[in-house]
Every structure is written in structure tokens, then in C-alpha cells.
Amino acid sequence: MRKTLTQIYESRVASGDLRADPAQHAVLPALDSLRDWLEQNASRKIGLFAGLFAKPITPPKGLYLWGGVGRGKSMLMDLFTDAVAIPNKRRVHFHAFMQEVHHGLHAARKRGAEDALAPVADAMTRDLRLLALDEMQITDITDAMIVGRLFQLLTAAGVVIVTTSNRPPEDLYKDGLNRALFLPFIAQLREKLDICELESPTDYRQHRLTGAQVYFHPAGKAGPALTAIWSDLTGGAPGEPLNLPVNGRTVTLPRFANGVARATFWDLCAKPLGPADFLAIAQNTRVLILEDIPQLSASNYNEAKRFVTLIDALYEAKVRLIASAADIPERLYIEGAGSFEFERTASRLREMQAADWGG
Ligand SMILES: Nc1ncnc2c1ncn2[C@@H]1O[C@H](COP(=O)(O)OP(=O)(O)OP(=O)(O)O)[C@@H](O)[C@H]1O
Ligand SMILES: [Mg+2]
């Protein structure tokens, strides 16, 4: 028998998988009605493809779900996306989506298309009714213009957009340059999406980690424990690489799902990455599972230096760190140039282990 999202949520509460949260509960009816509409209309041709004589069908407004970290926005979006019984749905991280759009624009311009966005939207809508975008962020005005117009083209073609964000639309690109140019985008968002705040007081991610061991040494045996933490925080998602744009380059996190990244020390500190890269990593992850931090010394000075920069960036951005290392923080770097500076890093590594740290 088909269950409503409210019923699915309630059975997950009953099984102990979720804690009952009135604020989350309150969002479910809106998602349920979007789901009903999608299931009833997914196979009909809508918008631009409806043909001359078909009765036009306008899709309902999508949803912009915003709120503090760990409140359950992505969990609710996944609950919804998984339950919608249509084949033409897609759930994607906002960064990955934008990267695709930029590639498409690039290819269209190369072919000499006058309006490069139209073919990108066309290709996207051909087989799509539901687009779920996780972690929407806008950090530059060009992206704002592209997304604004793209949302217009997608909704005109009958695509329903659901997205999560940590900020209300008015605060996207808050102190950005040329902010006035951004205001029409906010208006467009409000026109296409219902804005809904998830007002839960609980950061469930923090909650799940409270009391958990988060620093493991020696590193060798920590694998299963780290995998258990990964599964708990991502709902067992396999994870996929996340490419972050940094000054025209990309930095890759090898495994990412739902705000949680997993990488080895060597992935992040043995490559020529700098402060801007670590900043991008810190700004785009809530939890970093960092494996195999080795004993550091003058012989791997560059790696150690990058590690210090990485920890500083994570610390500033209040990212939760789960780590496996050769030894306790104070004994990771005990001799050679920079060992004095490392004291601060060791102290931060300690502080970041506290049950109430981050969030
Ligand atoms: N009601 C709940 N009971 C127990 N765990 C929950 C509940 N809601 C969410 N969680 C868990 O808490 C963690 C954080 O939730 P989620 O990733 O959905 O937060 P978010 O609002 O998307 O956060 P962010 O803004 O950082 O992306 C996930 O592991 C999720 O499964
Ligand atoms: Mg999220």
C-alpha cells in the first residue's frame, strides 16, 4: 500500500531511526502534495512540450527549504525524492549541478550558440520532472544570473525544483559585489519556489556525534569505526567525488555525501593544495573524516604545513573532524622546523574532539 511521506516519517520514528521532530513533521504535507502532483502528471507532456492543442498544465511551485545546519533538510529532501514514484527525477549537489551547467555552456558557446543557456536547459528538461538540489549557495553574480534564468526555463518546461539551503533567499550572496544585480534573482526564486524554514532547534548531526569517539590512534585499526560513522551520518550512501571550483581550478574531495567528506591525509596534504583550497573544502563540508595522519617531522615538512593550514580552515569554519592518526595530537610533530607552530594545531585537534564542538 502506498504510504504518505508523513506515514513514512512516522514509521521511521517508530523504528527508532529518527526522533520525532514537530518542525520536520510540519514540512511533510507540502512535500506530500508536490509528490501527489508529480506522480499524477509525470507522464503528461507539460509546458513547452505540450503541443499546440493540449491544455496547458502549470506545475506547482517548488520548495526552498532552509534552516541551520543538521536540522534535517537533506534528510527530508531525500525522503521525498526517494518516495516520488516517477522515473524522471534527479537529486544532485548544487556544486555538481553548476559544474555541469558550466560545461554545457562552454560546449554550446564553442558550437557558436547565440543563447548558450537555452540548449543546456533543453537537454536537461528532456527527461526531467523533478530536480532536487542540495545545498544551494550563490557566491558570484554570474552564477546568480545563470541560475535565475535556468530556473525560469526549467519551470516553464514543467520541472519542479526542490532545494535546501542554510540561508533564506534574501541572505544568499549577502555581502557580495554588485548586490543590486542580485535582487531580481531573489524575486525569481520567490516566484518559482515556496520558501519554507525548517525551524527545528536540534542539530541532529551534532547530536549523533555527541559522546562518540572522534579521534582514533593508531590509525591502522580505525577503518571499521570510521566506516560506521560515515554510514550513520550519510544513511549508508556510497558517496561520490565532489569537485569544488577554486579560482578557476577544481579541488576534488574523493568521497562526499550529505555534507560529510571522507579522505586520507595523503589525498589532501600530499598534493599541492593551498589555503584557498582548504578554505573551499572547509566551507563545503560539515564533517571531515580524515584517515591516516602520519607521524610528521622535518622530512615531510610540506605535508605538515598543509595539514596545519587544513586544520586552521576546518577550525575556523567549525567543521567536525573525525580522524585516525599515528599518535595523539601532541606527539604527531615533535621535532624539526615548525614543531613549535604545530603546538597550536595539536591544541586545536584536542579542542575539536570535545563533545560540544562545532555545529
Ligand atoms: N529527526 C531526526 N532524528 C534523528 N536523526 C536525524 C533527524 N533528522 C535528521 N537526522 C540526521 O541528522 C543528520 C543531519 O541531517 P541533514 O543532513 O538532513 O541536515 P541538514 O539540515 O541537511 O544540514 P546541513 O545544513 O548541514 O546540510 C543526518 O545524519 C540525518 O540523518
Ligand atoms: Mg544538508
- Under 8 Å between Cβ of 70 and 113: no
The arithmetic mean of pLDDT across residues 30-58, rounded, is: 76
Angle, CA 183 vertex, CA 104 and CA 70 arms, to 5°: 75
Q: From edge to edge, which strands make up the β-sheet containing 193-197?
A: 89-93, 130-134, 160-165, 62-66, 193-197
Q: pLDDT value at position 45?
A: 63
Ligand 1 atom having least distance to the Cα of 165? 25
Angle between helices 22-41 and 73-83 (to 10 degrees): 30
Residues 172-227 pLDDT 10s: 988 888 888 889 989 999 999 999 999 999 999 888 888 889 999 999 999 999 99
Ligand 1 atom having least distance to the Cα of 234? 29
CA of residue 188 to ligand 2 center, whole Å: 23
Q: Which of 24, 64, 69, 74, when mutated, tests ligand 1's pocket best, judged by the most ligand atoms within 8 Å of its CB?
A: 74
Residues within 6 Å of ligand 1 by CB: 18-19, 21, 24, 69-75, 135, 164, 166, 204-205, 208, 233, 235, 258-259, 286
Q: pLDDT value at position 31?
A: 98
- Number of CB atoms found within 10 A of residue 19's CB: 12
What DSSP state is assigned to residue 56?
P
pLDDT band at 53 (very low <50, low <70, confident <90, very high): low
CA of residue 203 to ligand 2 center, whole Å: 11
Name the region of 172 (left: φ>0; alpha: ψ -120 to 50; beta: rest). beta
354 Cβ neighbours under 8 A, 6+ residues apart: none
C-alpha cell at 329: 595530537
The whole-model pTM stands at 0.86
Nearest CA to ligand 1 atom 18: 72
- Under 8 Å between Cβ of 260 and 234: yes
Residue 103 exposed, middle or buried by CB count within 10 Å (0-12, 13-18, 19+): exposed
Dihedral angle of Cα 309, 259, 187, 180, to the nearest 10 degrees = 0
Q: Which of 204, 207, 322, when mutated, tests ligand 1's pocket best, judged by the most ligand atoms within 8 Å of its CB?
A: 204
Residue 56 has pLDDT above 70, yes or no: no
Q: pLDDT value at position 48?
A: 53
